[in-house]
Amino acid sequence: MKKLPHVSALKVLKNSRRILKNPLPFHYENFEKLGDTFRISIPGEGKVIFSRDPEWVKQVLQKKHRSYSKSKLQTKDLAKYIGYGLLTSEGEHWRTHRRMIQPAFHRQKLKGLLSIMHKAILDELDRIEPNADEDVFDKMGDLAFQVVAKSLFSSNDIRESMTELKSITEENQKMLIKEMRRPYLKTWFTWSGEIGKHLNMAERGREVLDNLIQERTKEKNRVEHDLLDMLLEATYEDGTKMSRKQLIDEVLILFTAGHETTANALSFLLYFLAKDATLQEELYQEVAASKSDTFSFEDMPKFPLAQSCIKETMRIYPPAYFIDRVATEDTEIGSFHLKKGTLVLLSIYELHRHKSFWKDGENFLAKRFVGMDMRQAAEFYYPFGAGPRMCIGNAFADYEMLMVLIEIVKKYQITTKMDTVEINPMISLKPKEVTLSFVPRWGESKL
Ligand code: HEM
């Protein structure tokens, strides 16, 4: 069995300041020097394997997925605040619920949600203040949160409850990052009551959702069929339904998994558009040529350039920039032996920029994916992960981002004074700031 190249704990300690600020340049240097897979000793964490090798990604997520589980951070630590739903559960519990919930996210089922999502998007875009320099990251966060919220609770009056729930979700995520970055302060966080305060907030979030679900179950003669209806109707193999607690866990997970990732991708996308007036014009022409007033499922192929821009944004800034797994048994990848308990971090960020697979990979090329055979690209492109735990909301997110792009291009030209966009790698890959101005097309736009 071969040995993997190794980065020592001393080197990590020496670089700890810059790693804390942004670990990606440190990892890049190691990949360039040591190759596509290496071992690193992280003080307090032990030995971790980093890989940007497509074969490793395929083996870990797909071919040998049974030999791996998700890390403690993605399961136990996160579940403390949002419960055991799809994202945070494992084994039979996860498999049963994935089987049950998957049909609600099938493209055909999503057809019925498109008009609800479209309306939520238009409502949120109405909040854009024209001609003002504004950081759009929070706006995109609100938009993505509301799209999930309205897709779940289409008939409820939810603005107030959702403002509260969004704030709870975000505050608890900040706490989780704090715990993750300073594991040595764990006892202090518990003792000082900080964790307790956040657990109470999580409880309050569950109460908010419980009230909304209660309202829903009393409603009669519903016309619109939303995501919550589908979850309420979903049954186990024996015909029984999810408990209220499980339903709330799943709903909380959809908010957590579905809003920040989409908000990050949309913010980076708008930045790239703002830097290229010609691209915006081409997109405007594509939208004009589509001759569709309202967006429908069948319209997707009419927007090859818009879809390419979205894919290219997630190539260069994948919101899930690392995917982690832990070996649950001794296993092998090629000529390497992995001991049970080994933590593997798959760097999707590095794979998406790898010189061997992507020409000019460091740059945003809007038309890169136009006409590309996605079956081939799928070998090196994993914005939504892969294998049985692949993102359940991938089609949902694709439609959402396309609708946002179309609606913005119809109404505005976007400009920015920013020279570059700085990244903020947290649990997901965020931009530090995306300050843009939305200049209305007014009389000029016929759309
Ligand atoms: C651009 C937007 C999005 C990106 C980049 C993204 C990315 C991902 C990735 C990479 C995973 C797999 C993680 C792993 O294997 O460890 C995942 C899982 C998941 N995503 Fe997404 N996601 C997005 C939007 C959404 C949306 C809109 C929803 C729901 C409304 C959603 C719900 C979920 C759920 C429930 C899981 C867990 C699935 C499971 O383990 O069975 N995501 N997502």
Q: Is residue 28 one of the residues assigned to a domain?
A: no
pLDDT digits (tens, 9 = 90+) for 74-98: 899 889 999 999 999 999 999 999 9
Question: What confidence tier does 73 reach under pLDDT thresholds 50, 70, 90?
Answer: confident
Average pLDDT over residues 151-170: 87
Q: Is the dihedral of CA 301, 302, 307, 308 positive or negative?
A: positive
- 385 vs 178, residue with greater confidence: 385
pLDDT digits (tens, 9 = 90+) for 311-354: 999 999 999 999 999 999 999 999 999 999 999 999 999 999 99
Q: What CATH number corresponds to the domain at position 147?
A: 1.10.630.10
Question: What confidence tier does 442 reach under pLDDT thresholds 50, 70, 90?
Answer: low
Is residue 182 scored above 80 in pLDDT?
no
Question: What confidence tier does 234 reach under pLDDT thresholds 50, 70, 90?
Answer: very high
Whole-structure pTM value: 0.95
Identify which of 230, 249, 261 to mutate to test ligand 1's pocket (most ligand atoms within 8 A of the CB): 261
CA dist., res. 121 & res. 8, Å (int): 48
Q: How many residues does the chain have?
A: 447
pLDDT digits (tens, 9 = 90+) for 28-54: 999 999 999 999 988 777 789 999 999
Cα 179 to Cα 16, 77, 82, 200, distances in angstroms = 17, 9, 15, 17
| Amino acid code (one letter) for 195 | I
Ligand 1 pocket check for 244: Cβ under 6 Å: no
Ligand 1 pocket check for 87: Cβ under 6 Å: yes
Determine which residue's CA is closest to atom 25 belonging to ligand 1.
258
Q: Is residue 106 one of the residues assigned to a domain?
A: yes
pLDDT of residue 444: 59
3-state secondary structure of 304: helix
Provide the H-helix boundaries in 219-298: 227-233, 244-274, 277-290
**CA of residue 81 to ligand 1 center, whole Å:** 18
Phi/psi of residue 69, nearest 5 degrees: -130, 175
Closest by CA to 242, choosing from 78, 253, 390, is 253
**CA of residue 144 to ligand 1 center, whole Å:** 13
Average pLDDT over residues 142-171: 89
Q: Is residue 266 one of the residues assigned to a domain?
A: yes
Least confident of 146-155, 218-227, 309-318, 356-365: 218-227
Q: Is residue 92 one of the residues assigned to a domain?
A: yes
Average pLDDT over residues 280-308: 88
Question: What confidence tier does 180 reach under pLDDT thresholds 50, 70, 90?
Answer: confident
Determine which residue's CA is closest to atom 27 belonging to ligand 1.
258
In the DSSP assignment, the letter for residue 210 is H
- Which residues are bridge partners to 42 per DSSP? 46
pLDDT of residue 214: 92
Q: Is residue 27 one of the residues assigned to a domain?
A: no
Question: What confidence tier does 160 reach under pLDDT thresholds 50, 70, 90?
Answer: confident
pLDDT of residue 3: 86
Ligand 1 pocket check for 262: Cβ under 6 Å: yes
Provide the H-helix boundaries in 35-103: 54-58, 78-82, 91-101
Determine which residue's CA is closest to atom 21 belonging to ligand 1.
391
**Whole-number CA gyration radius for the chain:** 22
Average pLDDT over residues 209-238: 88
- The total domain count for the chain is 1
The minimum-distance atom of ligand 1 relative to the CA of 382 is: 10
pLDDT of residue 443: 57
Residue 418 domain boundaries: 52-444
Ligand 1 pocket check for 310: Cβ under 6 Å: no
What percent of the chain stands above pLDDT 70? 97
Closest by CA to 36, choosing from 48, 49, 18, 21, is 49
The minimum-distance atom of ligand 1 relative to the CA of 89 is: 40
Q: Is residue 24 one of the residues assigned to a domain?
A: no
| Mean pLDDT estimate for the chain | 92
Question: What confidence tier does 445 reach under pLDDT thresholds 50, 70, 90?
Answer: low
Is residue 447 scored above 80 in pLDDT?
no
Q: Is residue 117 one of the residues assigned to a domain?
A: yes
Is residue 22 scored above 90 in pLDDT?
no
Q: Is residue 180 one of the residues assigned to a domain?
A: yes
pLDDT digits (tens, 9 = 90+) for 350-406: 999 999 999 999 999 999 999 999 988 999 999 999 999 999 999 999 999 999 999
Ligand 1 pocket check for 261: Cβ under 6 Å: yes
